[in-house]
């Protein structure tokens, strides 16, 4: 098997191994596996009863060996099983395993498929199959034909730390932003350079769309990227991204190599085709040719990694790229009960670009999905916890998952779970109390309550330039002993220290509700936050906004800090029995639970506020919801807060439900609502016509927002915290609705804005 999942470092250390040593599948690794299939041993050979093992659509895919084939594999439809049995069928039909190329996205996926196929065929059945990721496959062929790559071209592949060190040295040599503590870390620079290459878009465009707060460094980033490429060429080095583009260059510039590859691989299979980027799509077309036996397996409805460079149009355009493509749909779902699938089918029905599919299950009966409207985002956390406790009577906790669009959305639920002592594990984003910026903000509040809290002093004074651990202890001692002379002298020498101490003193004097105090903390701390964490300032700012929402539920500081501090110790293992799962939707892909609860299904949260700028991004948000819903085997709960707390106006404002929910037929869910006592009661669902009309209006507004006419009409403005934004609408009371890249939509008083001409 072509060994996959290596880090570039491992690739570099193994570069002298012959190609055959890394492309042959070793079935000895299967000795602990178990085969669950109908096989018959006839004259010493294994014969597989495909008709007994596969449903009609799977069987068609397995037995179609000639020409281009596109298998649209709906969620939970047995995609892996289909690939495994097709490999086995190819060999059983008498073709050499050497003629099979299996391209996957992870080492784990390739190994699983090859192991399972080997259990069908026997130990030697798959010896010689090439299987692995695009990157490891590219590396093997580049190494084999290194002499064709040109003089001075090496095959030393740098690992991440090597590449980051080079970027750091380049910045130093170019004297870029010398002494600027707000300049992004080298890992961030390298990540953006990599994203630019994988998406094949200008670095400036990537910055403006995904890291607007860093656009002031665009010219510096361009210089670093240019010198980084020059450095690699000069020293005969490759990074991970170079492997794919290097293979493309080898195949296009040397037709004899391409012909060798095509003659070797008669049967090409690509897994998760919806996740391929542009260069991967071109490589597939190069290797397969116009008439090659290429089978792409994937689901356009599960294409959710555009931020990594995945391009959904690769799978959507497959029939055009390969004329005569046979499209086979795997629609029988082996995971979910039919009521869940009825709802997910309805979500996809309104998609603009798609391959039509209708998922069905033999499990015709199951609980009807519930659409639960809570009074507010603040009461949503309690409603979710109550539902978890109710479901726990039927399912173990580890079979229940709460899913959300962004990591910080789960913070109120984490607090509620900690208060009740309910164990949970979180995937995707840090746990609330683990985030450094949250700890910083809370440290200000803790010191107003307890000036002897030395860990909080260490947190807040540690970021001040010129103040080390020993000095922090001296300052702390001076405060505790009322050494005014020392403090006056220290404040005179370090203005930042004076500002911090004066601010803390004013906090103690003014007091107020937790929300009011935290609002003052955030105003003071956000400029520090931007300097301290320039790489992901918008994400951390969102975390502070969520902390503000939590604080608004408390009347006294002691209770607020007490509940926030009730954190559970983290354990090492990934899977924990009897432990609730909290996960972002992206981290949930490929997983399943008996019960799934999806929260914050309102505009600006799900879909994300960033999606308002692009109809294409809005469609990806729809696919994200589809992925989230199809994780559920039995129960599916959709939570819609009716109002959302605005930390600027300090009031809860009405929230519009997600437009994807507004399109759902009433027959696909039960409507529930939270009453004034906090209980969930059945309610009469709203008429679908105005709901669908609202969804259509949202789409239209999205398209208008993204258009040049509206931006030219309303112009742009600047805000002290959010930076430059596009004015979407002028509201009553001198208020404006503004889209700030990296922050999303905000409604702000004109007094706090600087308008551009």
* pLDDT of amino acid 728: 80
In a domain, 151, yes or no: no
In a domain, 186, yes or no: yes
Which positions ≥6 away from 686 have C-beta within 8 Å?
671
Backbone angles phi, psi at 604, to 5 degrees: 85, -15
* pLDDT of amino acid 462: 81
Q: Per residue in 194-203, is it b (16+ CB within 10 Å) or e — as a string?
A: bbbbbbeeeb
Which domain range does residue 134 map to?
50-145+242-330
Backbone angles phi, psi at 211, to 5 degrees: -150, 60
Taking only the tens place, the pLDDT of each residue in 562-600 is 777 655 444 444 567 889 999 999 999 989 999 999 999
Are 250 and 120 part of one and the same domain? Answer: yes
Are 74 and 207 part of one and the same domain? Answer: no
In a domain, 2, yes or no: no
Taking only the tens place, the pLDDT of each residue in 155-171 is 777 777 778 888 888 98
* pLDDT of amino acid 153: 56
Are 117 and 213 part of one and the same domain? Answer: no
Specify the residue for token string 């080492």.
107
Are 160 and 226 part of one and the same domain? Answer: yes
In a domain, 44, yes or no: no
* pLDDT of amino acid 179: 76
Token pair of 395 as six digits = 């399912």
Contact by Cβ (8 Å): 349, 359: no
In a domain, 63, yes or no: yes
* pLDDT of amino acid 20: 30
Question: Is the bond into 607 cis (omega within 30 degrees of 0)?
Answer: yes
CB atoms under 10 Å from CB of 99, counted, come to: 18
Domain finish residue from 199, 219, 235: 235
- Binding residues are 73-80
CATH number at residue 77: 3.40.50.300
In a domain, 325, yes or no: yes
* pLDDT of amino acid 389: 95
CA dihedral 205, 211, 217, 222 (to 10 degrees): -40
- In this prediction, the residues of the chain whose per-residue pLDDT falls under 70 are 1-46, 123-124, 150-154, 291, 430, 433, 565-575, 613, 647-650, 685-713, 742-744
Are 372 and 303 part of one and the same domain? Answer: no
Are 276 and 138 part of one and the same domain? Answer: yes
In a domain, 696, yes or no: no
41 by DSSP, 3-state: which?
Answer: strand
Domain finish residue from 330, 346, 380: 330
Taking only the tens place, the pLDDT of each residue in 87-129 is 999 998 989 999 999 999 888 888 888 888 888 887 667 788 8
Contact by Cβ (8 Å): 342, 78: no
* pLDDT of amino acid 384: 96
In a domain, 708, yes or no: no
Which positions ≥6 away from 667 have C-beta within 8 Å?
342
* pLDDT of amino acid 456: 85
Q: How many angstroms separate the CA atoms of 58 and 67, rounded?
A: 17
CB atoms under 10 Å from CB of 176, counted, come to: 18
Specify the residue for token string 């399972």.
116
CA dihedral 202, 273, 292, 287 (to 10 degrees): 40
* pLDDT of amino acid 343: 97
Q: Where in 234-368 does DSSP place strands (E)? A: 237-238, 267-270, 293-298, 326-330
- Binding residues for ATP are 73-80
Are 589 and 675 part of one and the same domain? Answer: yes
Distances (CA, A) of 29 to 33, 83, 86, 127, 167: 9, 19, 21, 12, 40
Are 193 and 221 part of one and the same domain? Answer: yes
Q: How many angstroms separate the CA atoms of 428 and 408, rounded?
A: 10
Q: How many angstroms separate the CA atoms of 236 and 103, rounded?
A: 27
State how many domains the chain has: 5
324 by DSSP, 3-state: which?
Answer: coil
* pLDDT of amino acid 698: 54
CB atoms under 10 Å from CB of 287, counted, come to: 21
Closest CA to 401 of 563, 241, 598, 535: 598
Which positions ≥6 away from 255 have C-beta within 8 Å?
none
Q: Per residue in 525-563, is it b (16+ CB within 10 Å) or e — as a string?
A: bbebbbebbbbbbbbbbbbbbbbbbbbbbbeebeebbee
Are 55 and 121 part of one and the same domain? Answer: yes
Which positions ≥6 away from 230 have C-beta within 8 Å?
none
63 by DSSP, 3-state: which?
Answer: helix
* pLDDT of amino acid 119: 84
Are 579 and 663 part of one and the same domain? Answer: yes
Are 62 and 100 part of one and the same domain? Answer: yes
Helix ranges (DSSP H) in 511-556:
514-532, 537-551
Crossing angle of helices 436-449 and 557-565, in 10° steps, is: 140
Contact by Cβ (8 Å): 129, 100: yes
Which positions ≥6 away from 180 have C-beta within 8 Å?
none
Report the alpha-carbon angle 6-269-110, nearest 5. Answer: 30
* pLDDT of amino acid 575: 64
Taking only the tens place, the pLDDT of each residue in 250-303 is 999 999 999 999 999 999 999 999 999 999 999 999 999 876 789 999 999 999
Domain finish residue from 330, 358, 379: 330
Are 203 and 258 part of one and the same domain? Answer: no
């Amino acid at each position: 098997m072509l060994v996959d999942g290596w880090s570039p470092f491992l690739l570099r250390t193994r570069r002298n191994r012959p190609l055959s040593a890394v492309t042959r599948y070793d079935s000895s690794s299967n000795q602990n596996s178990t085969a669950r299939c109908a096989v018959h041993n006839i004259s010493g050979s294994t014969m597989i009863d495909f008709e007994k093992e596969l449903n009609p659509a799977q069987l068609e895919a397995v037995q179609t060996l000639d020409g281009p084939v596109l298998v649209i594999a709906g969620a939970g439809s047995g995609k892996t099983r289909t690939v495994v049995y097709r490999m086995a069928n190819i060999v059983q039909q008498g073709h050499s395993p050497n003629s099979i190329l299996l391209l996957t996205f992870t080492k784990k996926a390739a190994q699983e498929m090859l192991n399972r196929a080997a259990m069908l065929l026997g130990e030697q059945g798959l010896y010689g199959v090439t299987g692995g990721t695009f990157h490891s496959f590219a590396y093997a062929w580049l190494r084999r034909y290194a002499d064709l790559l040109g003089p001075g071209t090496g095959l030393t592949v740098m690992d991440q730390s090597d590449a980051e060190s080079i970027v750091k040295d380049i910045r130093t040599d170019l004297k870029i932003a010398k002494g600027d503590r707000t300049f992004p870390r080298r890992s961030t620079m390298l990540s953006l350079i990599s994203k630019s290459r994988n998406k094949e878009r200008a670095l400036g465009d990537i910055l403006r769309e995904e890291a607007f707060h860093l656009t002031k460094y665009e010219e510096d980033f361009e210089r670093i990227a240019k010198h980084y490429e020059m450095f690699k060429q000069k020293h005969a080095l490759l990074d991970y991204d170079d492997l794919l583009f290097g293979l493309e260059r080898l195949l296009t510039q040397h037709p004899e190599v391409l012909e060798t590859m095509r003659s070797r691989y008669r049967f090409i299979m690509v897994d998760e085709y919806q996740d391929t980027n542009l260069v991967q799509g071109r490589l597939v077309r190069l290797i397969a040719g116009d008439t090659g036996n290429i089978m792409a397996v994937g689901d356009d409805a599960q294409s959710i990694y555009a931020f990594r460079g995945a391009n959904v149009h690769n799978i959507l355009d497959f029939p055009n790229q390969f004329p005569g493509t046979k499209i086979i749909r795997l629609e029988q779902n082996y995971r979910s009960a039919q009521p869940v699938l009825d709802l997910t089918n309805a979500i996809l029905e309104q998609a603009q670009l798609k391959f039509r599919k209708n998922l069905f299950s033999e499990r015709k009966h199951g609980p009807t999905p519930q659409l639960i409207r809570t009074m507010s985002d603040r009461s949503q956390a309690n409603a979710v916890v109550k539902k978890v406790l109710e479901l726990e009577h039927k399912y173990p906790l580890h079979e229940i998952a709460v899913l959300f669009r962004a990591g910080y959305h789960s913070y109120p639920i984490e607090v509620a779970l900690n208060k009740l002592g309910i164990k949970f594990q979180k995937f995707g984003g840090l746990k609330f109390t683990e985030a450094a910026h949250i700890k910083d903000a809370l440290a200000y509040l803790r010191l107003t309550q307890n000036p002897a809290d030395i860990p909080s002093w260490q947190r807040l004074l540690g970021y001040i330039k010129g103040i080390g651990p020993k000095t922090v202890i001296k300052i702390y001692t001076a405060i505790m002993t009322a050494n005014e002379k020392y403090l006056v002298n220290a404040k005179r020498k370090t203005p930042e220290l004076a500002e911090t101490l004066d601010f803390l003193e004013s906090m103690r004097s003014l007091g107020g509700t937790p929300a009011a105090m935290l609002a003052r903390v955030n105003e003071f701390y956000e400029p520090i936050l931007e300097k301290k964490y320039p790489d992901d300032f918008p994400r951390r700012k969102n975390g502070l906004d969520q902390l503000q929402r939590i604080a608004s539920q408390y009347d006294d500081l002691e209770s607020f800090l007490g509940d926030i501090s009730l954190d559970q110790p983290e354990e090492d293992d990934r899977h924990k029995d009897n432990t609730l799962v909290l996960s972002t939707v992206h981290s949930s892909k490929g997983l399943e639970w008996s019960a799934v609860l999806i929260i914050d299904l309102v505009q600006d949260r799900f879909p994300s506020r960033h999606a308002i700028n692009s109809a294409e991004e809005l469609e990806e948000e729809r696919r994200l919801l589809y992925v989230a819903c199809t994780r559920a085997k039995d129960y599916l709960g959709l939570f819609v807060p009716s109002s959302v707390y605005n930390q600027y106006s300090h009031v809860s404002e009405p929230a519009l439900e997600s437009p994807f929910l507004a399109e759902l037929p009433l027959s696909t869910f039960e409507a529930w609502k939270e009453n004034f006592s906090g209980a969930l009661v059945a309610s009469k669902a709203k008429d679908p016509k105005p709901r669908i009309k609202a969804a259509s209006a949202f789409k239209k507004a999205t398209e208008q927002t993204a258009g040049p006419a509206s931006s030219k009409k309303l112009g742009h403005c600047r805000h002290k915290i959010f930076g430059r934004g596009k004015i979407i609408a002028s509201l009553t009371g001198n208020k404006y609705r503004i889209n700030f890249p990296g922050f999303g939509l905000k409604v702000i008083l004109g007094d706090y804005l600087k308008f551009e001409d």
